[in-house]
Amino acid sequence: MTDSSLDLASLMCSRLCHDLLSPVGALNNGLELLADEQDPEMRKRCFDLLEQSARISADKLKFFRLAFGAAGGFGEMVAVADARDVVDALASNNSRITLNWQLANESMPKVAVKTLLNFALMAIDSLVRGGTLDIAAETREGASEIVVRASGKKVVFDAVLGRALDGSLAEGELSSRTAPAAMIRQLADSLGGKLQHALTEDALVLGAELPAA
C-alpha cells in the first residue's frame, strides 16, 4: 500500500467514525438516562431513543460497508437491490427527502455500485432543507452510466467536493470530508471513466460513465 492509499484509507475511517459518533453518543445518553429514570413514561421515551439510535447506527454501518468496504463479496457484480436498500434506509432518517429510482439491471459492477452510493451520500447531504433525490443507473455490456439528481429549496455543495470529483484537489484539501469523492475519482480513473457534476440554485446533478473493467 502506498502512502497516498494509506492516507485515503485513514481518512475514510475518520469519516465513518465522525458519522457514527452522533447516533452512538445518543445510545450512550439513552442508557445513562434509563439507569436513573423511574417514571414509566420517561423510561418509554428512553427506550424509543435507544431504538432510534440503534437503527440509525445500523443503517449507517450497512451503508458504509457497501459504499466504502468490501461488502457484496469478492465478485465483480453486486445486487442493485442491496444498494437501494441501504440508500432507502439512510434517507428514511430524513422525512423531508423523497426518493425516486430508475434501475435497469438486477446487478452492477462493484465500482459502479460504490460510485452510485457515494453520489447518493453527497446528494443527501446537499439537501439541507429536504427535497427530491432521483437516482438512475444502467449497465450495458459491462459499461455503466449513473445519474443522481438532488433538487430542493436549498441545495448546498461545497466546491472542494467538486474538485475531489474532478481530481483537482489542492494540497491539504484531502480530508475525511473529501475522501469519499476522492476514492470514487480514483476508481473511475482506474477504468478510464468519467465523473461529472453540475450545481444550480435548486439542483445538484452528479453523473458517471464507467467502462467495463
Question: What are the pLDDT digits (tens) for 6-45?
Answer: 677 788 788 878 787 887 787 888 788 777 778 888 888 8
At 213 the pLDDT is 77
Name the pairing type of β-strands 97-103 and 107-109.
Answer: unpaired
Q: What residue type is assigned to position 106 of the chain?
A: E
- For residue 131, pLDDT over 80 is answered with yes
- Helix (H) and strand (E) counts in the chain: 6, 7
Check residue 1 and give its pLDDT: 42
The fraction of the chain above a pLDDT of 90, given in percent, is 58
In terms of C-beta density within 10 A (0-12 exposed, 13-18 middle, 19 or more buried), how is residue 67 classed? buried
Is the per-residue pLDDT at 66 higher than 60? yes
Assign 171 a pLDDT band (cuts: 50, 70, 90): confident
Nearest residue to 110 via CA among 137, 64, 71, 65: 71
Number of domains comprising the chain: 1
CA dihedral 10, 15, 19, 24 (to 10 degrees): 10
Question: Model's pTM, two decimal places?
Answer: 0.88
Q: Which domain holds residue 54?
A: 3-210
Q: Which of 13-17, 59-63, 101-105, 169-173 bottoms out in mean pLDDT, i.e. has the lowest?
A: 13-17
| CB 33, CB 60: distance < 8 Å | no
Residue 206 belongs to domain with CATH number: 3.30.565.10
Task: Using the structure block, give the residue that is written with the C-alpha cell 465523473.
Answer: 195
> What's the pLDDT score for residue 25?
80
CA gyration radius, the chain: 18
Q: Report the distance separating Cα 193 and Cα 143, nearest Å.
A: 9
Q: What's the mean pLDDT when you consider all of the chain? A: 88
